[in-house]
Structure 1
Amino acid sequence: MNTKDMRDLDDAELADHIKTVRRDLFGLRFQHATGELENTAGLKTGKRDLARALTIAHERGIDTNK
């Protein structure tokens, strides 16, 4: 999801997106550690997506540590 799309989300949807990306990134890291991950580029894109979402949440003052 690009930055413009994230900025269009309301606060609850953005928090839900952050939870989903964190869960997906955890799964990718787990697959990478066990040697099951074939496309390691997904780790980089997942990290960037999470960073974008957290930046927007921080700008809005949303607590993301729930």
Structure 2
Amino acid sequence: MNAQELREKTPDQLRDELSSLKKESFNLRFQQATGSIENTARMRQVRRAAARVKTILNEKAAQAAQAE
């Protein structure tokens, strides 16, 4: 999901997305530890997607604070 699609979402939707990414990251780390991971590149994709969501959340929080 790209940044433009994320910016169109509400903060609650972004928090849900972040939660699901964190769960997926945990599952991927667990698979790596047990040696059953198939796509190691997915770990990097999930980590960057989570960072992207956090960045958008911070931008939205800053805009809300500035509006007040």
Q: TM bucket by the smaller chain?
A: 0.7 to 0.9
**What letter corresponds to residue 29 of structure 1 in structure 2?**
R
Give the CA RMSD over aligned residues: 1.3
Q: 1 or 2, which has the higher helix percentage?
A: 2
* Gapped regions of structure 1 (runs ≥ 5): none
Listed one character per residue, the Cα deviations across residues 15-64 of structure 1 (whole Å, up to 9, x for unaligned) are 100001001111011101110101100001001100000111111229xx
The TM-score with structure 1 as length reference comes to 0.87
Identity of aligned residues (%): 37
What number of residue pairs does the alignment pair up?
A: 62
Q: Distance in 1 between matches of 2:5 and 2:45?
A: 16
Runs of 4+ with >6 A deviation: none
